[in-house]
Amino acid sequence: MSNLSRRNALSLGVALGLASVAGAVPAWASAAGTDPWWVWDDEVDTLMAGLVDSGGVPAVNTALRPWVNNGDPLPGGLPDGLAAHLRRANRLPSWADPAKLRRAADFNRRKDTYLFLLYGLGSGIMSTVIPREARSVYWSAGGANMQDRAAKTFTFGYDLSELGAFEPSGQFVVTANKTRLVHGAVRHLLPRSPHWRAAADEQVPISNGDILVTFHSLGTFVHRKLLEWHVPMSAADEEAFLHQWQVAIHLLGVRDEFIPQTWAEADAQSAHVLTPLLAPTAEGKELAADLLGLTAQIDLGVTRGFLNEFVRYVLSDAVGDWLGLPRDYAAAVLIRTGWPAYIAFREGLLPIAPAGFYLFDQFLRALAMLFLNKGTSPTSTPITIPTGNRPG
Ligand code: HEM
């Protein structure tokens, strides 16, 4: 890492109240003494490695295609080991609380526009400055087609945000289980990519620790921003939003002992393991340019300068500088003053519509449409297990 980017990383840490060495993987252990950086998903990984090596992946993808709703029976034509795994894993954990999950779904509906904005422009762009994630996404097969990949990632968020996401008629449990299989295949495939091996600082990607880091860039980050923006939330809403994410990361194969039990615990874990890791990479810069270019293809009713400044507003100038986002100072002022007033008006805390109201409103609506259309894909893009890596 260059001195300049190291300085940026350090100042980001300082701005967030953290003194840390950028680029180093922080020490981490659960109460039981296990380190999540060294835990993967043994059973799934063995199954997927066998399938990749035997050429069985395409047949499994075909068999899994019509399997969509949580309540759907498991399709035929799956190898015995995989079928047995899915029968065990394709259900909610015993500690899942249906009332909390229903409340979370209702919360997602009530706050949907903020969530679309924060997941899309906040978490989506943040993923490009999480070096391990950026490198693995870039060098895996999906990295070659960001449009398709973005659509699949939207599917995950969309299925999670649906009203009946965890009910038999919802799709989230199946989507999460398919994603878990994809991650298993990626753990076997990426170490064979000479490009990934040359760039990565690890032997096997997507450990439990990495998945938790990504959760913090999604759930923990969004929760903190909603508080920071004074978006009204009841304690029960906050708890339900956390619970939905606890169930989601369990379904992705994270051991229960690592899952934060409270937002305070999640915030502390995020400060320890996410913030110090943030740093630019060549791969991440290209992914961010692709993602922002994709967003700019849709008419969001705002200029590219406004979009860049919104990313800076949400993620900090340090991140904006890493990604080389050109400045638009007029848009920056409009966002800094107009956005808090827009939220206050929208939430009934301000009697008169502030300047810029319609601009922000149109922007939010356009982002919501983008999200509800499942990215830029006109049809739902099924999640499929990759059979190779991104070619050079
Ligand atoms: C694939 C979600 C964590 C790397 C996917 C897919 C989804 C997803 C929905 C399937 C869509 C696709 O094939 O593109 C998530 C969620 C996570 C998480 C919700 C955590 C909360 C991670 C982490 C890494 C990672 C930590 C790496 C450090 C990848 C890669 C693919 C993938 C490389 C395969 C892309 C391809 O098809 O080539 N993930 N993921 N994911 N994920 Fe994740």
pLDDT digits (tens, 9 = 90+) for 105-124: 999 999 988 998 999 889 99
The answer to whether 121 and 319 are in contact (CB under 8 A) is no
Whether the CB of 184 sits within 6 Å of ligand 1: no
CA of 127 to the centre of ligand 1 (A): 11
Count of CA atoms in the C-beta half-sphere (13 A) of 361: 12
What is the 231 CA–ligand 1 centroid distance (Å)?
29
* Per-residue model confidence (pLDDT) at position 21: 43
CA dihedral of 21, 27, 28, 32, whole degrees rounded to 10: -160
* 57 occurs within a structural domain: no
Residue located nearest, by CA, to atom 33 of ligand 1: 137
pLDDT value for 252: 98
What pLDDT score does 154 carry?
A: 67
Q: What is the pLDDT of residue 11?
A: 52
From the CA of 249, give the closest atom in ligand 1.
Answer: 21
Q: How many domains are contained in the chain?
A: 1
Listing DSSP states for 86-128 in one string gives HHHHSS--TT--HHHHHHHHHHHHHTHHHHHHIIIIIIHHHGG
Does ligand 1 lie within 6 Å of residue 215's CB atom?
Answer: yes
Q: Is 195 within a domain?
A: yes
Indicate if ligand 1 lies below 6 Å from the C-beta of 335: no
Phi-psi region of 324 (alpha: psi -120 to 50; beta: other; left: phi over 0): left
Residue closest by Cα to atom 39 of ligand 1:
179
Ligand 1 neighbourhood includes 117 CB (under 6 angstroms): no
ipTM, two decimals: 0.97
Structural domain contains residue 302? yes
Residue 267 lies in a domain: yes
Evaluate: CB of 123 within 6 angstroms of ligand 1.
no
Residue nearest to atom 38 of ligand 1 (CA): 142
Q: In the chain, which stretches have pLDDT less than 70? A: 1-24, 151, 154, 296-298, 371-381
Residue with tokens 């300049």, as numbered in its chain: 4
Ligand 1 contact via 179 beta carbon (within 6 Å) = yes
Residue 24 pLDDT: 62
Give domain status of residue 126, yes or no: yes
| Cβ of 239 less than 6 Å from ligand 1 | no
Would you call 254 helix, strand, or coil by DSSP? Answer: coil
Ligand 1 centroid to 82 CA: how many Å?
Answer: 20
386 lines ligand 1 (CB under 6 A): yes
Residue listed under structure tokens 């827009």: 342
Q: Give the per-residue pLDDT at 71.
A: 94
- pLDDT score of 12: 55
191 in a domain, yes or no? yes
Q: Would you say residue 322 lies in a domain?
A: yes
pLDDT tens per residue across span 73-100: 999 999 999 999 999 999 999 999 999 9
The verdict on residue 298 lying in a domain is yes
Does the CB atom of residue 316 touch ligand 1 within 6 A? Answer: no
| Residue-range definition of the domain harbouring residue 164 | 100-383
Distances (CA, A) of 104 to 99, 145, 243, 371: 9, 32, 8, 18
Query: What pLDDT was estimated at residue 355?
Result: 83
Measure the CA–CA gap between 166 and 71, rounded to whole angstroms. 10
